[in-house]
Chain A
Amino acid sequence: MSDLICKGTTTCEGCGMELLARSIVEVLGKNTIVLTPPSCSAILTGFGDQTCWRIPAFQSNLENIAAYCSGISTALEYQKREDVYVVALAGDGGTVDIGLQALSGAVERGHRFIYICYDNEAYMNTGIQRSGSTPIGAWTTTTPGGKEESKKNIVEMLMAQGIPYIATASVGYIDDFKRKLDKAKDVNGPTYIHVLSPCPPGWRYEARETIKLGRLAVDTKLYPLFEAIDGDIRITKKVSKVKDIGEYLKLQGRFRNITKEQIKSLEVDAAKYYDKLVEMEVE
Chain B
Amino acid sequence: MLNAQKQLMKGLLFMKDKVGIFATDVSDTKTGTWRLAKPIVNENCKVCGICSKYCPGLLIEMEDIAAIDYEYCKGCGICEVVCPFKAILMVEEAE
Give, as a whole number of angstroms, the nearest-CB distance from A247 to chain B: 14
Q: Is the CB of B30 within 8 A of A8?
A: yes
Q: Is the CB of B57 within 8 A of A46?
A: no
Closest 8 pairs (CB-CB, A-B): A208-B77, A49-B14, A14-B76, A13-B74, A13-B76, A8-B28, A207-B76, A8-B29
Chain A residues near B26: list those with CB within 8 A: 6, 50-54
Determine whether A211 belongs to the interface, using a CB cutoff of 8 Å to chain B.
Answer: yes
| Binary contact readout A165-189 vs B (1 if CB under 8 angstroms, 0 otherwise) | 0000000001100000000000000
- Residues 1 to 31 of chain B near chain A (Cβ within 8 Å): 13-14, 23-31
- What are 28 pairs between A and B in contact, CB < 8 Å? A2-B58, A6-B28, A7-B57, A8-B29, A8-B30, A8-B31, A8-B32, A8-B57, A9-B31, A9-B57, A11-B56, A14-B76, A14-B78, A18-B57, A19-B55, A19-B58, A22-B57, A48-B14, A49-B13, A49-B23, A51-B24, A51-B27, A53-B26, A208-B76, A208-B77, A211-B81, A211-B82, A212-B81
Most B Cβ at <10 Å: residue of A6, A13, A16, A174: A13
Q: Total contacts A to B, CB within 8 angstroms? A: 97
Determine whether A10 belongs to the interface, using a CB cutoff of 8 Å to chain B.
Answer: yes
Determine whether B85 belongs to the interface, using a CB cutoff of 8 Å to chain A.
Answer: no
A142–B24 alpha-carbon span in the complex (Å): 38
A residues apposed to B, CB below 8 Å: 1-2, 6-11, 13-16, 18-19, 22, 26, 46, 48-54, 174-175, 200, 206-212
Give, as a whole number of angstroms, the nearest-CB distance from A204 to chain B: 15
Chain A residues near B58: list those with CB within 8 A: 1-2, 19, 22, 26
Q: Is the CB of B25 within 8 A of A210?
A: no
Chain A residues near B81: list those with CB within 8 A: 208-209, 211-212
A174–B52 alpha-carbon span in the complex (Å): 11
From A9, which residue of chain B is reached at the shortest CB distance? B29
Q: Is the CB of B54 within 8 A of A174?
A: yes
Give, as a whole number of angstroms, the nearest-CB distance from A203 to chain B: 14
Given contact pairs A10-B29, A48-B14, A51-B23, A22 touches B72 in the complex (Cβ within 8 A): no
Given contact pairs A49-B14, A211-B78, A16 touches B56 in the complex (Cβ within 8 A): yes
User: Which one, A7, A48, A207, contacts B78 given CB within 8 A?
Assistant: A207
A261–B7 alpha-carbon span in the complex (Å): 68
